[in-house]
Amino acid sequence: MQNLIFLAEGTEPTEGGHAPENPLGFVPVEFALSLVVFGLLLFLIWKFVAPRFEQTFAERTQAIEGGIAAAESKQAEADAKLAELEKQLADARHEAARIREEAREQGAQIVAEMRETAQAESTRIVEHGKAQIEAERQQAVTSLRAEVGSLATGLAGRIVGESLEDEARQSRVVERFLADLEAQTVGADNGTTPGSVN
């Protein structure tokens, strides 16, 4: 290197007694040593450090992702369960409503049925009563007719003093009497007073 000297006495920088080294100079020993040391370090890092780092890194990533996946599956499970429960609840509500509806219908039906039965029963009872009354009346009419006949004949026989023991005559007389009676009744309806009969 050329030293340009301004002003007066030049001083050669000869400290140490040897010519100044160019700082850019090539020193084979240092070059080789640097390559070797760096190469060795690179090999060691490559061999011992990098795989472990990548392994740990991958494991951690996997652990985190696995945790996330597990949490997600748990969440999905919980969601499914919740949905199922809600569905069940809805079903139960629906069922309850249905049962209530059914019960109401059934109740209405029962009431209607009972009302109908009671109606029928009352009708039947009324009919039965009517029939009984009719039958009793009929009976009474029949027995009355027989009794009235015998009473009347007895009474007439006693009055006319005539024995009416003859059956045929007796019955003919009664019949005639009754027919007269009936005709009288009809006549009474027309306002005519029946005459005394024999």
Partner 1 sequence: MFGINMAESGGEFVSPGPNSFDFSEVPLFHLGGLAVTKPMVQLVLGALVVFVFFYAAFRRATLVPGRLQFAGESAYGMVRNSIGRDIIGSHDFIKFVPYLVTLFFFILINNAFASIPAIQFPTFSRASMAYALAGLSWVIYNAVGIKKHGLLGYLKLQSVPSGVSPFMYPLLVPLEFFSNILVRPVTLALRLFANMFAGHLLLILFSTGGLFLLEYGGVGYVAGPLAWVLAIAISFLELLVQFLQAYVFTLLNAMYISGALADEH
Partner 2 sequence: MDGTLNGSLNMVGYGLAAIGPGIGIGLIFAAYISGVARQPEAQGRLQSIAILGFALAEALAIIGIALAFVLS
Minimum CB separation of residue 24 from partner 1 in Å reads 5
Helix (H) or strand (E) holding 64: helix 50-160
> Does residue number 10 form part of the binding site for partner 1 (CB under 8 A)?
no
> Does residue number 58 form part of the binding site for partner 1 (CB under 8 A)?
no
Minimum CB separation of residue 4 from partner 1 in Å reads 14
Show the DSSP H helices in 9-49 as ranges.
28-44
> Does residue number 41 form part of the binding site for partner 1 (CB under 8 A)?
yes
Residue 40: both structure tokens together: 């060795």
Calculate Rg over the CA atoms of the chain.
71
> Does residue number 140 form part of the binding site for partner 1 (CB under 8 A)?
no
User: 148: phi > 0 → left, psi -120 to 50 → alpha, else beta; which?
Assistant: alpha
How many Å apart are CA 20 and CA 30, to the nearest integer?
Answer: 18
Pick one of 14, 22, 190, 196: the residue that binds partner 2 (CB under 8 A). Answer: 22
Minimum CB separation of residue 61 from partner 2 in Å reads 21
List of residues contacting partner 2 (CB under 8 A): 1-11, 22-24
